Every structure is written in C-alpha cells, then in structure tokens.
Chains A and B, each alone.
Chain A
Amino acid sequence: NAGVTQTPKFRVLKTGQSMTLLCAQDMNHEYMYWYRQDPGMGLRLIHYSVGEGTTAKGEVPDGYNVSRLKKQNFLLGLESAAPSQTSVYFCASRPGVLRPQVADTQYFGPGTRLTVL
C-alpha cells in the first residue's frame, strides 16, 4: 500500500495562476481532508469529504474548490492564486468506519509546498 500520496511535491505559481493539487489514497477510506499549515498556525481545515461525490467547507475554504469524483481521489483547486495561499498543503484520509485493529483517525500524505509570487 502506498497510503496517501500527493502530487506535486513542490510548486511555484505567479499571482493569478490556477492549479490543482491531487490527493490519492489506496486504503479504501471514506473520508478525505485538505489542510494548510502555516508557521505558528497549526493545521487548518480547508475542505473535507465524507464520501464519494460529497464535499463540505472547513475553517478556511475561501479561494479553494474541491472535488471527489472517485472515492480514492480528492482534488484541491486554486482558481486564482494569491500570495496569501503560500503554504504547505496536507491531504489526509480516514477510514470513517470501525474496522478491527485500524484506528479511525487521519493518515496524512507527505505534503505539497506551494509558493505564490
């Protein structure tokens, strides 16, 4: 199992450009999450999904859109990037159902470091 993977690992954008971050998980997890992490701010939830075809807003959703067309993928889009969106982005997945010997918690991908100039 690869677990949770994120593409790309690094990206530099110019203000106003758009991009999509891809998160994929091969653990058949129901729930998926997108966070951003800024120095001294901890992890802040952008959007999340509790199942294929469903998404919901988190704490800081403005400027981002998401889609979960397939259970294993969760896409995060920036339509018009701004310098304030410079951050490290983490995707996480969670079983969402009780399974023996599997903690129902979040498992994180390696992160994407995004810089917006």
Chain B
Amino acid sequence: QQPVQSPQAVILREGEDAVINCSSSKALYSVHWYRQKHGEAPVFLMILLKGGEQKGHEKISASFNEKKQQSSLYLTASQLSYSGTYFCGTELNTGNQFYFGTGTSLTVIP
C-alpha cells in the first residue's frame, strides 16, 4: 500500500529544476505532499484530489494523473531553502489510513 517515490535522492544547483514522482498500485482519493527539514516535523505543501486540477504555490507545483495513479511534484528555479526530504502521502478513501512514501532527499547547493 506504500507509494513508491523516485528518485530517492537528488542534488541540484540553485536555479535548477527538479521533478519528484509518487506512484501507487491502488486507486487514490488524494495525494498530499510534505517537506521535512532535518530534525523537524513534516510541513504540508499541497493536496491533490481525485478529479482535481494541478496545484501550485510560487515555484512549487504538483499534478495528479489518475490513469497512472501517479503524482509529480515540480520544483522550478530551486532555492537553498528547498533542501529537505519530500514525502508524498496517499489516501485511498477519505478518512482512511494515510500511506507515506519513503521520501526523496533534495539538496540544493550554491
């Protein structure tokens, strides 16, 4: 039930773009994206619902492909502050259990 994230790790230079994918073998109701800095709690970025549209916030956006049961997180013109581990959390039905991916470590270097 745990979604699969790829890549496991990525290193970027400031200003470069990155894509993180989250795939499920089950039909999803929603996908939630979080970022976690070392030693801190995960922080919510955005949620995508079945039948919903692509979401975006400044230079971070995400999409949800229902046919493939895959969500992608897009980080454009990366900044140093984008460094951290990105998790997708998936929900099969509303109010059900959450399943988190194992995370993607993103490091942005000057």
Q: Which residues of A contact B (CB under 8 A)?
A: 31, 33, 35, 40-45, 48, 50, 58-59, 90, 96, 103-111
B32 is contacted by which of A40, A44, A106 (Cβ under 8 Å)? A106
Interface flags for B20-53 (1: CB within 8 Å of A; 0: not) read 0000000000001000000011111011000000
Would you list 20 pairs from A and B whose C-beta atoms are within 8 A, ordered by A residue? Answer: A40-B102, A42-B87, A42-B100, A42-B101, A42-B102, A43-B42, A43-B87, A43-B89, A43-B100, A45-B97, A45-B98, A58-B97, A59-B1, A90-B42, A103-B44, A103-B46, A105-B44, A105-B89, A106-B89, A109-B41
Q: When chains A and B are docked, how far (Å) is the Cα of A110 from the Cα of B42?
A: 9
Q: When chains A and B are docked, how far (Å) is the Cα of A44 from the Cα of B46?
A: 20
Q: When chains A and B are docked, how far (Å) is the Cα of A100 from the Cα of B32?
A: 18
Q: Which residues of B contact A (CB under 8 A)?
A: 1-2, 32, 40-44, 46-47, 87, 89, 95, 97-103
Q: What's the nearest-Cβ distance from chain A to residue B95, in Å?
A: 6
With A42-B2, A106-B32 already in contact, the answer to whether A33 and B41 are too (CB < 8 A) is no
Q: When chains A and B are docked, how far (Å) is the Cα of A5 from the Cα of B99?
A: 22
